[in-house]
Amino acid sequence: MISGMSAATFAEQLISAERMGKDQLFKTSMTKHQSQLDAYEILESSLKRMTSKLEAINGDAFESKTSSISDESASITVDSDAPAGTYDLYVKQLAQSHQLSKSFASETEVLPTTGVLSIQVGPNAADTIDIDMAVLNADGTRTVADLRDAINNHADNPGVQASLVRTGGQVELMMTSKESGAVNSVDVKMDGVDWGMTERKAAQDAEVTLNGIDITSSSNYLGNVIDGVSIELNQAHAIGESSTIKIESDSSSSEQAVEDFVDSFNELMDQINQLTRSMGSSVVDESNKDKDDDADKDKDDDDEDAPSSITEDQLGVLKGDSSLRMLQNSMRNSVFEAAPNGMRLSDVGIEMTRDGKLSIDEDKLSQALKDDADAIKEMFTASGSYVDRIDTIIDPFTKSSGYLDLKQSNLDKQIDRVEDSMSRHDYQMQQRYQIYLSQFTAMENTINQLNSASALFY
């Protein structure tokens, strides 16, 4: 062509100039809608994280207990419903399993070919097995080791374990009840007569005294001996000795729950500020740094792919959303007011700062928990407590088909509409490109023909 460009290049440049305005408009709309959608997802993630913290506070955060014992005579485990207190434990004796043995020259000593060996565990005659030597040793070659196996493998074994103890010069056939306690004694007879076994350990119950109360148990594990308290006995005390057990409230878990609550509250206030106001990037950097420091702590509470940080491009992207400002103000008002028991957050070292966030005096909080943990628990967990108030405020935003779901759904629809418009625009521009290409190709052919004809005159 005269311009030196091909028809295709000419058509492409015209189309590029013609579509530039709408392409920019579509790009701006898409960027705006996607930024808003990402912002609502970040906000939803933070609200759900705070809800998780509220559930933790309203659960066992103030119920956790710790235990200690003054020596190694027992091991203590406690549940959240264990009453705080101090207990004196005296272990008179441990429970033990009954143990009998009978001496043989060796483990290969051949058994008799007649007689019925009866083994009973406990007082119930039904808990007995009979081993007929005429059956077991029909060929006259069975040994003490075979008897051990016959006892252990018997389908109706009532709860006895047979073993061989080698003493060097002979072997002892040992029979031990599988369960400890006096009730699980072992009785062994041959043809109804005592088989002549030697008692190595008596069947014995555990005997302890707890705060002056006598307790007997067939096991060394005293489950739920006090509400929520279980004791595993390890060794008996010498006469005159005893152990001191202490059950106390675990103030560290309560303190951590309150600190988590404050952290998530402040994170939410930061995010609403950033999303609804135009702020400098330094504020974003500082806020995101704080969240990065806590990332490991909150990792299990977040969805793996959920966004958590606000970028500089997202500042003020939700500026026109008055509902978020209302959410922010409602939350601040809810923690500024007194709890149902008349206490305020300031009573436990939590103050509202000038920027509308919470700060903690950790020493004051720790002391308040030591002084009256029940009162602080009531502040956060009773009906109408701080947890109840904030949960009520957050719920309309995070529930299924709630505010955030509707916002995200509407933005998804707007993005779909923009994508549809972009597709139609692409199709229209492709059609116009073909028209331009045809026109410029025809023009180019005409010019080439004229140039060929004019060459005849030179």
Series of mean pLDDT values for 10-residue runs along the chain (458 residues)? 68 84 88 88 88 79 87 94 92 98 96 97 96 96 97 97 93 97 97 96 97 96 94 96 92 85 89 76 48 48 53 81 91 91 93 92 91 87 89 91 91 92 89 85 78 70
Two tokens, residue 242? 């005893």
Beta strands in 234-349 (DSSP E): 243-249
Which pLDDT value is given to residue 395? 92
pTM here?
0.62
Question: Which tokens hold the place of 343?
Answer: 């206490």
Rounded to an integer, what distance in angstroms lies between the CA atom of residue 413 and that of residue 402?
17
Residue in 169, 203, 173 with CA at minimum distance from that of residue 186 = 203
Q: What is the DSSP letter of 112?
A: P
Which residue, 441, 443, 436, 438, is CA-closest to 18? 436
Residue from 228, 259, 227, 267 nearest 369 by CA: 259
What is the reported pLDDT for 232?
97
Please tell me the predicted confidence (pLDDT) of residue 285: 47
d(C-alpha 362, C-alpha 351), whole Å: 11
Q: Are strands 160-166 and 243-249 parallel, antiparallel or unpaired?
A: unpaired
Provide the pLDDT for residue 302.
46
List the Cα angle 258/250/291 in 5-degree steps. Answer: 30
Give the whole-angstrom CA distance, residue 173 versus residue 146: 11
Instruction: Quote the CA–CA distance of 111 and 390 in Å, as a whole number.
Output: 79
- CA 357, CA 336: separation in Å to the nearest integer? 11
Burial 315-340 (b: 16+ CB within 10 A, else e): bebbeebeebbebbeebeeebeeebe
pLDDT of residue 15: 84
Q: Which residue has the tokens 């955030």?
A: 404
Cα 338–Cα 255–Cα 346 angle in degrees, nearest 5: 30
Task: Name all contacts of 219-227 with Cβ < 8 Å and 24+ positions apart.
Answer: 219/95, 219/179, 219/180, 219/181, 220/94, 220/95, 220/180, 226/82, 226/83, 226/87, 227/81, 227/82, 227/83
